[in-house]
Structure formats: C-alpha cells, structure tokens
Structure 1
Amino acid sequence: MTHVTRAASAGNALPSVRYPFESPPTPGNALEVAPGVQWIRMPLPFSLDHINVWTIADGDGWAIVDTGARTDAATALWRRLCTESSSSRPVTRVFVTHMHPDHVGMAGWLTRTFDCRLWMTRLEYLNCRVAASDTGREAPSDGVDFYRRAGWSTAAIELYRARFGRFGQYIHALPDSFRRLYDAEEIVIGKHVWRVIVGNGHSPEHACLYCPELKVLISGDQVLPRISSNVSVYPLEPDANPMADWYASIAKLKEQVPDDVLVLPAHNDCFYGLHARLDHLQRSQDRSLERLRQALSEPRRAVDVFGALFARAVSESDMSQLSLATGESLACLNYLIGCGEVNRELRDDGVMWYSLAKA
C-alpha cells in the first residue's frame, strides 16, 4: 500500500502560506472554493485519515477529481452525494491525479455507476493495473532481495511476505479503457479551460490541473501545505532516481504556475503561497541530503540512514512506515549516486553498503 505521507517532518512554519477557509467541509458535504469548484473531504482508514476530492461544474453535471479509497464509508458518502441528495447531479467524468489507492480507489465504481470516462495519464493507469494484479500473489524474489539489500531483518522480510499483494484491496477494478491525459494539454471542463501539468517523483506521471481564469491549481500530492509527499524507490525499478524527478517537478511548477493561485491539495487545507511552499520543500530536501552526506562519512546501509533523514523513529514492526522510509532513503541515496557523490558496494551477505565517493 502506498501512502502520501513520509516519516520525515516537513516543517511548516511559513508565514507566507495562507489558508483562506476557517475549516474543511465535514465528510460528505461540499464547500465551494471557486466558481463552480467544490471541496469534498473523504475519510481514509489510514494514519493520514482524509483525502480532499474536488468537483467541477461540467454542463449539467460534475467532473470529479480524485475519488478516495475503496471503503464502505466512501461508498456510502458517494451514494449520498451523487444519487440520493435532492440536489445531486450526474458525474460526467472522473479525473484521477495518480495511481495511489486513496486517489483512484473509487474511480471504477464511479465510472461504472455513471457510465462515464476515466481520465488519467498513461503511466499512472498502467502502473495501477500492474500493481493491482499482484493481489493474492506471493512476494516475488526480486522484492525480497531488494529489501535484504536495504538491510531489512529476517523478521521484517517475513512480514513483507505476509503483507504482499494488498495494493488492490482499496481499489475498485479500473475500467478497461480510459482517456489519456497529456502534459500541457488544455481541457474544457464546464465554462473554463484547465491545463494539465505533469509532475514526477511521488508517482510515475502525476497530473495537476491548472485553471488560469479561476486562478486555481488542483495539485494532488505534488504540492501539499503541511506534509511532504513520499518520494521512493521500489523493487520494480531499484536503480530509479525519482528524487531528481521531484526536484525537476518543483522547478517546473514554479515556472508554469503563478504564485497567486489558490492551491487545492489532496491533503490538509486549501492555501495561497505556492512558490513559498515549493521553495520550502526544496530547501528541506537540500538539508536532508546534507545530513545524509554527513552520515555517509563511513559506510552505511539504507536502514542505517533513517536517523539522518527522518524526524521520528521508524519501527520495524510498522511495515507501512518501514517501507516508506526505506524507499525514500534509497531515493536520496540513488540521487547522490547519480550526482557522483556516493558509491555503493554489494557485500557477500547480500546487503548493499553506501559511502561517500573519494574526491
């Protein structure tokens, strides 16, 4: 299961970030945040206990952006919102920013209920289908080797084996076809034009939606006001460098979206101060990498650098946090390898050790 939150503290003492709404809507109720754009908060059964979804007036109905995870509570709320409310309007389209279950989980139910199209980037759709296909499978040897190289104990690897294949349990089956979203394309939703801005790092091909006329950015997990999205390396692509993609996406958003937009994030509250938040995220990551360099003054495993990167302890018994911390540690290590600053050595015991490259 892939969550947005990471173990590290993001820090949020930013006086230039402003929250225009006193409180979020109660679960299942809508709050208008811009003309024709409504904020709905859905509960999640995780430590991060909510996701924000958005509706955009689209002719006689609503286009929905993100959906919540597949749970009984989410299903009941969507039924009330879409089919039982006296003011309900049909769903015309379902947009999903990216493949994680809290965003895509109810998309299949909604598209089938309203006979409408799923709009999603290609890599997010295909990666979601692949991940969901692991449901019920035994843990692959590549995954076991991946976590053994990171320094996981035998007990942690056995827990990984026991919990493998649960990605799909919070996702309704996706429709067998979809409408692909392209970076920089412009889409008319209702009375306004929305531009797709694709970011990377947190997920393969994350789609944000920007409406210049309304001065609104639906940011998904690409920019969050109080927490930082997890940026991880996974067993599927152990040599990936998602942190480089994350840095590039921060620069891209700052270049393409002005600072005066109202940001509608997937978690926490709507806010102003996009550029200040992007700058803070970059500085925070820079500081984390500097602490990592210092920790690598002598050889370390991936599990040995948690203390340098994360503000709270990572428990081996908490598989979610252990997986996130390991994935993000490897993302930071692979980034420094890509910069030529770090070397790695696979030792006879099957564990990878990292150290600063000699000048």
Structure 2
Amino acid sequence: MAQDQKTGRPRLTDVAEIAGVSMKTVSNVINGYQHVAPRTRERVLAAVDEVGYRPNLSARNLARGRSGVIALVVPRLEMPYFSALAGRVIERAQARGWFVLIHETGWDRAAERAALEGHFPQRIDGLIVSTQRLSAEDLRMRTDRTPLVLLGEHGYGDLAHHVAIDNVAASRTAVEHLLDRGCRRIAMIGADPDDGDDPRMRGYTEALGHAGLRLDRNLMRRIESNSGEEGERATRDLLAQVGEPPDGLFAVTDWVALGAIRALHLAGLHVPDDVAVVGFDDIPYARAVTPSLTTISPDRTAIAELALQMLEAQLSGGELAEPVDQHVPFHLVVRESTTGIGAAPAEDQEPVA
C-alpha cells in the first residue's frame, strides 16, 4: 500500500483502490453526502477502517475556505453549568470535525460585544455566545458576518439564532413543585421585582397567581452575581427582615441555591422540613451535597446539538439558515431538598419541550 511520502499516512487513493471506486466516491462518503448507494458506502467505510485512513481536516477546511474552528463564549468557565455546557459543545463539535475555542467574558457587556464583532486571535467559522448583557441594539449594530447562535434566557426575535429552554415554563414548574408540597410562603432568591422581562421571575409570579397566592415582594431578593456567596447573603438578608420565614425557596441557579441552603442551616432552619428548596441548572454538585438538590435540568446535549446545527445551516444553507428562536426540553429532578434526607430520588419526570 502506498503512503503519503511526507506524512507516512494512508491516502485517499489507497481507500479508493481497495474499495474499487473512484476518489470522488470516497470523498462523497467521507463528507457524508447521501446520494451514495448503501453497499458502496459500506465498501468505502470498510476500506477506510482497513487502511486506517484519517481525513486531513486542515486541508479539507482550507479547500472549503474554512478554518475548522468555532468559538464558544461563556461568562465564566469555572461556573459548573457553563463548564458542563462547554463539554457538550466540544463533544458535538468534534463529531463534525470542528475545534472549539473557548472564551470568557466575565459577565461584562463590552467583552460580549467584542466577541460579537469577531475579536479573536484567529479566524473562526462560527460563534456561539451565552449572553448575559447583550441588547437588541447590540445585535442591530453588529457588522461581523460570522455565523452566530445565542444561548441564554433572552431571545432576540429575528435578529439572531437563539437556543434555550422555556425559562418561564421551567420556573413555573419549579414553583408548582413547591406548591404541590404544601408550601405557601415561597421566596425567590435572584428575583428583581421590577424586571418584568425576566423569564424566571415571570414563571415564579405565574405559578403563585395560578395558585391564588398574592405576590409578596418581601420574599424576593436580588443578587449581585450568580454565586453561592450571593445566595447566602440574599437569604440571610431575607430571614433578618421577615417576621415569619418562608416555607419554600426557589433560587435562580443551583449555585445560588446552595448558598441559600447554607444560610438557612446557619439560621437553625432545616431543609426540607422547615424550608423546601428548588434550584435551577442541575449542576454536578447538586447530586453530591446534603441534602441533594431538587432542580430544573436543561437538556445541555440538545442545546449544543441544535446550536451547531444552526451554525452549519448558516454556513451551507438549509432550513435553519434564517434566524430562529427554538426551545429544547427540560425536566424537574426531584431530590432530598424537597422530599427529605434519605428519600429515593425521582429523576424520571417527563421532559418538557
């Protein structure tokens, strides 16, 4: 078998010779084109395995006028949700021959805008941004034409592709779970009572309204950052200012919820006997703490897959080429923070689209 004299690796011609087909047919199979006969495809793939052929992705991307690199922009990779999301994006991108460049913005709007304009040290084929601060005006002013997909709570209509779970429905599900447990004084940590556009805040208020309960602003606390420290501070502040403590608590993220649980314990309150707690994101730590945390679990694999499909469509055309706002499933994972220490976990709730 002849080999590439420069690299010593098997060549496309070797695969074609063993399979008894043309190099064009081999190329069609390797690139996933669908108009190859099934038996021919099987012969080519068997030949690929036999000679150990691996495509030269750099050369392939160069021929297509692409870099083979996409960028994933997140606020902080140290945050468990974003590190888990990055893992899913890398996994799905590798299946497409893409390398993922990860960039942090530190929750800074200027950094998000710079990413939006393609300020990277190398050329990229696509951009996935988990946005926290971008406005619709930022998108209207964008001049860079790199394919873009936004992640996060807020959609932007026809201004950009966007993938998320239905945050209103997810928050409503979380609060309804507390209501089903008999909770009636339900606090929300991470709420801004004056932000009517906050989808998690909307889900909280909708659930209370459907239950016939009055919205009590004294049970709502803002946070300055998405952290356990802020969850603890906000919960401690709430407990100091209300005469009667809440019997349920919904936190905007698991990280915040874990801080809230610490504040409750330090105040002599037991979770869930005195206060049942629900978080959001299903980070790995939610399963390992005591009590384990009931939470909303987004389908991160579906988020990554759909975001990459949207990038592909923008690069090559297709049904997802035009800006679209799409939801992926989530489900409620019930653990000890609402059922009691030692209770069997109920992690098989039906996903909600």
Q: TM-score range by the shorter chain?
A: under 0.3
Higher relative contact order (Cα pairs below 8 Å, separated by 6+ residues): 1
* TM-score, length-scaled by structure 1: 0.25
| Structure with a larger share of its residues in strand | 1
* TM-score, length-scaled by structure 2: 0.25
Larger Rg: 2
| Structure with a larger share of its residues in helix | 2
